[in-house]
């Protein structure tokens, strides 16, 4: 079974008029670009000097979801692609963050953002 078949929620790509940004809170300098976001996780490009974080690694992120605010969250690395994308699953999101992610994804759907 591939990654798409296991995914429980649609993932949407951020668009310029409804942006999302992320910052890795791990004490190192990493550039993080959100590739797509869904209710259960995100796909990210994490640029660093070393190799990618191993599958199973817990990460802390600060994520800004357009008009839905800035949130700190925990996630777990679930996969890496050959194209350099890291898939993460959200872990123990606070209710307010869960609500913000759902609203953000719904807004992207309404605006016709690509999935």
What does the angle CA 75 – CA 77 – CA 81 come to, to the nearest 5 degrees? 140
What's the pTM value of the predicted model, to 2 decimals? 0.86
Q: For position 27, what pLDDT does the model report?
A: 72
Identify the band that residue 5 occupies on the pLDDT scale cut at 50, 70 and 90.
very low
Q: For position 38, what pLDDT does the model report?
A: 94
Identify the band that residue 3 occupies on the pLDDT scale cut at 50, 70 and 90.
very low
**pLDDT single digits (tens) 99-115:** 999 999 999 999 988 88
**pLDDT single digits (tens) 61-95:** 999 999 999 999 999 999 999 888 999 999 999 99
pLDDT above 70 (res 35)? yes
Question: Cα separations (Å) of 41 from 49, 50, 73, 78?
Answer: 24, 23, 11, 10
Q: Which fold has domain 3-85?
A: Thrombin, subunit H (2.40.10)
* Domain boundaries along the sequence of the chain: 3-85
Q: How many CA atoms lie within 13 A of 28 on its CB side?
A: 11
């Amino acid at each position: 079974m591939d990654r798409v078949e296991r995914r429980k929620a649609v993932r949407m790509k951020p668009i310029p008029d409804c942006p999302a940004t992320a910052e890795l809170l791990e004490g190192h300098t990493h550039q993080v670009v959100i590739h797509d976001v869904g209710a259960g996780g995100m796909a990210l490009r994490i640029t660093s000097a070393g190799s990618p974080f191993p599958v199973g690694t817990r990460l802390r992120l600060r994520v800004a979801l357009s008009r839905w605010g800035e949130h700190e969250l925990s996630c777990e690395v679930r996969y890496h692609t050959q194209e350099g994308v890291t898939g993460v699953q959200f872990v123990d999101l606070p209710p307010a963050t869960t609500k913000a992610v759902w609203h953000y994804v719904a807004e992207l759907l309404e605006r016709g953002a690509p999935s």
